[in-house]
């Protein structure tokens, strides 16, 4: 039996290949709708997940078995119904996933079956990259150098020939209502985006990747999040390509793996500061903090780059990386709110929302994480805007109130004669003061 979680693809899937070999081609594919994960997922991520499951179901002759409930009960039950003594899945390294898999393993053992963890959502599994004395890296650059030594660009297994034998009863639920326009949640769309990026967009990635006004990044993050694409497939598509674009892109993939490693070693760091010295830090609460949080979340801070980013998040369930840093910095360093509050909001909206990348991305900005720079890592929302969105076209795309402003003052509209245009707020705080 093949138990899918966040590896929703049939190509290059070692857990599926192992299930096919063990069961001589007759495989049940099971997905468990687990409320423990559904509750915090956010509507955008759930809609993307359900669409990806529907695509997968249609590709396997509508044989995908979807059940709701506690995985420890459901997996053992479906394995017993299918008379499958062996269950295969990719290893999960997240805090909840590890706990859940331990329970499923025990339930299966009790029923005389076995759970096999084959492969992972990473090119190099968490826990693998260590210093020569066996201790982990706490800084990205040396981690990255060592990570590269572990890469093993072996061709991935082709999609196996499978006789799907599941007896579906439920089907995938309908999408929750969403307003964001999400990318196509299919394995084919993931492959196509990968090809287009590696064939023609990778050159110059290192120059364009910080510019939110350009389509300068791969937009592969939702596909990597749900395993419609595996990082090995991305690395293989890059091949031995040299050049600054390819080098920089490999390093970005490694950030995802670094944060997975950091979270695996310290699961509590999903919620509290990774750096012990930063744990006593206190942030603001109360009614003023609540109203500032709302202004930030709704894109009404009066700082155009921050507001454009927050509205991109609402409209697309995705935000450009540079703007994620600027909006996060604004919440923490200008509004003095806890990074956890912003991280929760991002996880509720992002279609690529991932506990390790998100919460450690937030900790990087806060200066409480692995790369601690608490005092001087401050993003100036105006200079960032001038530098990375020079003619204000990103701002104009998401803030119709400012779309007609054709001057550098689009970055600081309070300097326009007569103040900000009608409908756009004055800054809620003064960055120089905060």
Q: How large is the angle between the packed helices 231-238 and 187-196, nearest 10 degrees?
A: 30
Member of 8, 66, 328, 331 binding ligand FAD (CB under 6 A) = 328
In the region spanning residues 246 to 285, those forming contacts with ligand FAD, defined by CB under 6 A, are: 252-253, 255-256, 259
Q: What's the Cα-to-Cα distance from 14 to each of 121, 125, 423, rounded to whole Å?
A: 11, 14, 54
| Residue showing the smallest CB distance to ligand FAD in the complex | 361
Shortest distance in whole angstroms from residue 90 CB to ligand FAD: 16
Asked if 70 is part of the footprint of ligand FAD (rule: CB under 6 A), the reply reads no
Asked if 353 is part of the footprint of ligand FAD (rule: CB under 6 A), the reply reads yes
Contacts of 309 (CB under 8 A, 6+ apart): 212, 299, 319, 320, 323, 324, 326, 327, 398
| β-pair type (2-4, 29-33) | parallel
Shortest distance in whole angstroms from residue 334 CB to ligand FAD: 15
Shortest distance in whole angstroms from residue 144 CB to ligand FAD: 12
Member of 143, 362, 388, 394 binding ligand FAD (CB under 6 A) = 362
Shortest distance in whole angstroms from residue 103 CB to ligand FAD: 26
CB atoms within 10 A of CB 86: 15
DSSP-assigned states of every residue in 98-158: HHHHHHHHHHHHHTT-EEEE---SSSS-TT----TTSPPP-SHHHHHHHHHHH---PPPPP
Half-sphere exposure of 264 (CA within 13 A, CB side): 21
Asked if 209 is part of the footprint of ligand FAD (rule: CB under 6 A), the reply reads yes
Size of the site for ligand FAD (CB under 6 A): 27
Member of 8, 224, 295, 399 binding ligand FAD (CB under 6 A) = 224
Asked if 354 is part of the footprint of ligand FAD (rule: CB under 6 A), the reply reads yes
What's the CA gap between 90 and 16, in Å, rounded?
Answer: 9
Closer residue to ligand FAD in complex, CB, 56/325: 325
CB atoms within 10 A of CB 99: 13
In three-state secondary structure terms, 210 is coil
Asked if 321 is part of the footprint of ligand FAD (rule: CB under 6 A), the reply reads yes
Closer residue to ligand FAD in complex, CB, 295/350: 350
Asked if 194 is part of the footprint of ligand FAD (rule: CB under 6 A), the reply reads no
In three-state secondary structure terms, 262 is helix
Binding site for ligand FAD (CB under 6 A): 209, 217-221, 224-225, 252-253, 255-256, 259, 321, 324-325, 328, 346, 350, 352-354, 357-358, 361-362, 365
């Amino acid at each position: 039996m093949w138990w899918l979680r966040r590896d929703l693809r049939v190509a290059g899937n070692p857990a599926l290949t192992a299930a096919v070999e063990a069961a001589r081609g007759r495989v049940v594919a099971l997905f468990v709708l687990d409320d423990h994960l559904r509750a915090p997922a956010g509507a955008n991520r759930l809609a993307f997940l359900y669409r990806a499951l529907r695509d997968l179901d249609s590709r396997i002759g509508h044989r995908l078995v979807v059940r709701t409930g506690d995985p420890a009960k459901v997996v053992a039950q479906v394995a017993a119904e299918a008379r499958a003594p062996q269950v295969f899945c990719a290893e999960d390294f997240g805090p909840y996933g590890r706990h859940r898999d331990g329970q499923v393993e025990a339930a299966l053992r009790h029923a005389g079956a076995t759970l096999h963890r084959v492969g992972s959502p990473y090119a190099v599994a968490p826990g693998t990259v260590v210093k020569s004395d066996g201790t982990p890296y706490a800084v990205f650059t040396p981690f990255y150098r060592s990570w590269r030594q572990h890469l093993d660009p072996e061709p991935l297994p082709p999609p196996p020939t499978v006789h799907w034998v599941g007896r579906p009863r439920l089907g995938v639920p309908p999408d929750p209502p969403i307003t964001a326009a999400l990318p196509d949640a299919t394995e084919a769309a993931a492959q196509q985006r990968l090809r287009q990026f590696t064939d023609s967009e990778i050159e110059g990635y290192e120059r364009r990747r910080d510019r939110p006004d350009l389509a300068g990044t791969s937009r592969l993050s939702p596909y990597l999040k749900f395993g419609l694409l595996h990082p090995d497939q991305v690395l293989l598509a890059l091949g031995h390509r040299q050049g600054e674009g390819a080098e920089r892109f490999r390093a970005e993939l490694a950030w995802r793996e670094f944060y997975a490693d950091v979270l695996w070693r310290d699961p509590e760091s999903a919620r509290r500061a990774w750096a012990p010295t930063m744990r006593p830090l206190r942030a603001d609460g109360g009614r003023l903090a609540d109203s500032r949080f709302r202004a930030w979340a709704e894109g009404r801070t009066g700082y155009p780059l921050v507001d454009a980013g927050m509205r991109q998040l609402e409209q697309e369930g995705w935000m450009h990386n540079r703007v994620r840093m600027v909006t996060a910095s604004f919440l923490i360093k200008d509004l003095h709110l806890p990074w956890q509050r912003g991280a929760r909001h991002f996880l509720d909206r992002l279609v690529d929302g991932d506990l390790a990348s998100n919460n450690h991305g937030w900790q990087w900005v806060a200066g409480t994480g692995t790369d601690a720079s608490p005092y001087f890592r401050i993003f100036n929302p105006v200079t960032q805007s001038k530098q990375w969105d020079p003619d204000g076209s990103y701002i104009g795309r998401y803030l119709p109130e400012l779309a007609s402003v054709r001057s550098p003052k689009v970055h600081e509209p309070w300097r326009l004669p007569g103040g900000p245009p009608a409908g756009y707020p004055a800054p809620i705080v003064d960055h120089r003061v905060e």
